[in-house]
Amino acid sequence: MSKDVTMRDIAKKLNISAVSVSKAISGKEGISESVRELIIKTAQDMGYVYTSPKLKGRAHYNIGVMVSQTFISDSAFYSRLFQNLAIEFGKQGHSCTLEIISHRNEREGILPGNVAGGRMDGIIVLGPISDACLGNILRTTTPYVFVDNYFPGEMMDCVVSDNVYGSHVLTNYLIDKGFRKIAFVGRINATNSIMDRYLGYVKALLQHNMEVRPEYILSDRDDAGLLTDPELPEDMPEAFVCNCDEVAYHLVEQLKARKIRVPEDVSIVGFDDYIFATLCSPKLTTFRVNMEEMSRTAVQLMEDKLRVPHSVNGRKVISGEIVIRDSVRDK
């Protein structure tokens, strides 16, 4: 990427002040998140590389941030996570490039050209990835860190949110509100994150001597990993624990089409506290994932590996908090 692009160039393109651009890129307060995201995206599109004045003279690394085509879109959770990583790597004087793995290449285990060709100094893998791609990553000599995924039995650096705890908190919240017929929405074996969120749901039910009903475990995606409407049971649940806000948002719309009101008729909680949580009507009660801390931790793990190539710090779990909004009523 070119280093000739300046903050003034970005400011001119967006018709804003260079001060606003500086605040956005350096992660400082004083601008809205929507403006920050626009500035960062424009900077990336223009090929801008940020280096903190305090870091001039330090080694500059190029990091490839890989993500499956299945899990990336303009409004997806991983797009925001990549933006946070770009900010944190920029603070350390490094640059990062988003590398999207197509469906076909993921099936065949083909890594992006910049990664496979050894043109990246480090690799961040966002979210789930096929076994074929995983095998090739594990065989590379380039340092790698996994974010929002982990692999039991493998000793590797990874950063995950506290999925079991978060789903346990949400399910307990519904139980405390008086709900007993509670469903889980998510294809359990689709990702480690969904599996862990399911386990948090089950833990809460068992702790309250409540039955885990098989008909209340609702799949939200097909074999290709694409989202689908869950098949609702005849005995309608009183509340739903959704594995993410996007699924919760679509479930609300599905219920509206059937003239089922949220939260008057059923209550719904999500997970992530990303854009769908506030786009939804009613706004979602959810569990906020601390993406900023996940990004900071991932960058620190990568920095350690760049300094000591064979170092392994293991799995880092980042906690979060429940956010109460309008999608749950008192029973």
In this prediction, residue 55 carries a pLDDT of 42
1, part of any domain = yes
118, part of any domain = no
pTM of this prediction exceeds 0.85: no
In this prediction, residue 2 carries a pLDDT of 42
CATH number for 270: 3.40.50.2300
In this prediction, residue 26 carries a pLDDT of 67
- Cα R_g (the chain), whole angstroms: 21
Q: Which residue segment(s) compose the domain that 197 sits in?
A: 163-289
| pLDDT tens readout for residues 76-101 | 788 889 999 999 999 888 999 999 99
63, part of any domain = no
- Bridge partners of 147, per DSSP, are 126, 159
CATH number for 10: 1.10.260.40
- Positive/negative CA dihedral, 235, 201, 148, 324: positive
| pLDDT tens readout for residues 45-73 | 787 765 544 444 457 889 999 999 888 86
In this prediction, residue 242 carries a pLDDT of 98
Counting the structural domains of the chain, the total is 2
Q: How confident is the model at residue 27 (pLDDT cuts 50, 70, 90)?
A: low
Which secondary structure element, helix H or strand E, spans residue 126, and what is its range?
strand 122-126
Given strand 239-242, what is the order of strands in its sheet? 217-218, 182-185, 239-242, 267-269
Res 105 pLDDT > 70: yes
Residue 231 backbone dihedrals phi, psi, to 5 degrees: -85, 115
Least confident of 94-103, 161-170, 232-241, 252-261: 94-103
In this prediction, residue 50 carries a pLDDT of 56
In this prediction, residue 54 carries a pLDDT of 45
17, part of any domain = yes
198, part of any domain = yes
143, part of any domain = no
Res 239 pLDDT > 70: yes
What average pLDDT does the segment 275-287 reach? 95
Distance CA 14, CA 312 (A): 42
More confident residue, 40 or 145: 145
208, part of any domain = yes
